[in-house]
Chain A
């Protein structure tokens, strides 16, 4: 069984300040972890993925995430928020090597000018 918990349903940051979106996972086997982003009226876009290689994963648009097995976490960070980062972000887990994924409930990121 696998699940993800996104600890914040809404996060608000000022433009130019750091972004932290939190995700904890539960998995009875070696997981693959992903972050997806959905902008309004758009599809889900893959930001980055962890598949048992380097624990610090760099993605698109300056985002990165660190896999911490001891904390069962995969938090998403960005050093400096941009207005275009305002969107909903989903943490996703799957069994390593499989594509049947489980989504978190999503975190809506608001960026204040």
Chain B
């Protein structure tokens, strides 16, 4: 079984540019989550999809961030325009069902550096 896959693994962009991160969840997993770890801080929740619908986007920092999951398969997270404080590691996770008995499977993350 292929795991959660994230592209790219690293991205370096200049302030003001746009970046799009992609996450391919495990096949058949309806739940998809985005988390972020800013340098030196804890990993924080960004949002949660159930299939193509946003279930909870309470963690999205501001309107420069846009997440989509068209068709309920892969998801993208776009940052436009990027700011210095957006630098960090962005993790995607998926699960088969909600409930803590269905654990989250994480990808390797995308390391974003904004200069």
Listed in ascending order, the chain A residues whose CB lies under 8 Å from chain B are: 32, 34, 36, 41-46, 49, 51, 90, 94, 96-106
Contacts of B106 in A (CB 8 A): 36, 43-45
Alpha-carbon distance between A98 and B95 when the two chains are bound, in angstroms: 12
Is B99 an interface residue when CB atoms closer than 8 A count as contact? yes
**Known pairs A49-B103, A99-B98 / 20 extra A-B pairs, C-beta < 8 Å:** A34-B100, A43-B3, A43-B91, A43-B106, A43-B109, A44-B93, A44-B106, A46-B104, A49-B100, A51-B101, A98-B99, A99-B33, A99-B95, A99-B100, A100-B45, A100-B56, A103-B42, A103-B44, A105-B42, A106-B43
Is B48 an interface residue when CB atoms closer than 8 A count as contact? yes
Contact of A104 among B42, B103, B104 (CB under 8 A): B42
Contacts of B45 in A (CB 8 A): 100-102
**Pairs across A and B, CB under 8 Å, 7 listed:** A34-B103, A43-B109, A46-B103, A98-B100, A99-B98, A100-B45, A101-B104
Interface pair A99/B44, CB less than 8 Å apart: no
Alpha-carbon distance between A89 and B24 when the two chains are bound, in angstroms: 24
Contact of B48 among A43, A100, A104 (CB under 8 A): A100
* Total chain B interface residues with beta-carbon distance under 8 A: 27
Is B102 an interface residue when CB atoms closer than 8 A count as contact? yes
Interface pair B98/A42, CB less than 8 Å apart: no
Interface pair A44/B100, CB less than 8 Å apart: no
Contacts of A97 in B (CB 8 A): 98-100
Is B87 an interface residue when CB atoms closer than 8 A count as contact? no
Interface pair B42/A99, CB less than 8 Å apart: no
A102 → chain B, closest Cβ, in Å?
Answer: 8
Is B75 an interface residue when CB atoms closer than 8 A count as contact? no
Contacts of B3 in A (CB 8 A): 43
Interface centre among A49, A96, A100 (most CB of B within 10 A): A100
Chain B 75-92: CB-based contact to A (< 8 A → 1; otherwise 0): 000000000000000010
Contact of B43 among A94, A99, A103 (CB under 8 A): A103
Alpha-carbon distance between A100 and B108 when the two chains are bound, in angstroms: 19
Alpha-carbon distance between A98 and B41 when the two chains are bound, in angstroms: 23
